[in-house]
């Protein structure tokens, strides 16, 4: 069996093994309250929500739109939050198209742990850019995903386009 070295994953595992039982701790709330957007990979902030890069992306440019309020269910979203989420999705699709010209997008949310939410205590919405041929043998045969661009490079590119 071949191994691919990915030390950044240890931070994810370590964080969730320590924090899974702490009800008051939330990586999205921590990012929102931190003023260092570059360190937290926050692309933009709105009135009710912010856009942040996924630290463990499916593809380069994988973004999440997160309400400032710590809520876990879709029905808790206010009309203002919902409207801004949709506006941010539209804006980020245009920005990602300008930055990296994807062929399509996956957009959605996993509502609840059983629906696949890795973080189920704070609702968030994913935007995943897709390119024809971006699925190859690596995820199928070796459960490995290749990310083609450094996250800081992607962050700078998206911020400069906004």
**Structural domain contains residue 3:** no
CATH number at residue 41: 3.30.428.10
Catalytic annotation on 33?
no
The full 3-state SS of the chain, as one line of letters, equals CCCCCCCHHHHHHHHHHHHCCCCCCCHHHHHHHCCCHHHHCEEEECCCEEEEECCCCCCCCCEEEEECCCCCCHHHCCHHHHHHHHHHHHHHHHHHHHHHCCCEEEEECCCCHHHCCCCCCCCCEEEEEECCCCCCHHHHHHCCCCCCCCHHHHHHHHHHHC
Domains of the chain: total: 1
One of 33, 62, 122, 124 is an active-site residue; which one? 124
**Structural domain contains residue 106:** yes
Say what the pLDDT of residue 24 is: 59
**Structural domain contains residue 110:** yes
pTM: 0.79
Q: Give the model's confidence band at 25: pLDDT under 50 very low, under 70 low, under 90 confident, else very high.
A: confident
**Structural domain contains residue 146:** yes
**Structural domain contains residue 68:** yes
**Structural domain contains residue 16:** no
What is the residue range of 98's domain? 25-154
């Amino acid at each position: 069996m071949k191994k691919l070295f990915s030390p950044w994953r240890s931070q994810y595992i370590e964080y969730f093994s320590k924090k899974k039982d702490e009800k008051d701790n939330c990586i999205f709330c921590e990012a929102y309250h931190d003023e260092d957007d570059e360190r937290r990979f926050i692309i933009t902030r709105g009135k009710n929500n912010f856009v942040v890069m996924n630290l463990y992306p499916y593809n380069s440019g994988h973004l999440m739109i997160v309400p400032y309020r710590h809520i876990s269910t879709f029905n808790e979203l206010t009309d203002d939050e919902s409207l801004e989420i949709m506006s941010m999705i539209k804006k980020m699709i245009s920005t990602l198209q300008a930055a990296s010209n994807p062929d399509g997008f996956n957009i959605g949310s996993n509502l609840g742990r059983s629906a696949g939410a890795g973080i189920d205590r704070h609702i968030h919405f994913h935007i995943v850019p897709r390119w024809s041929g971006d699925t190859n043998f690596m995820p199928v045969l070796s459960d490995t995903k290749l990310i083609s661009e450094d996250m800081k490079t992607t962050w700078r590119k998206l911020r400069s386009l906004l």
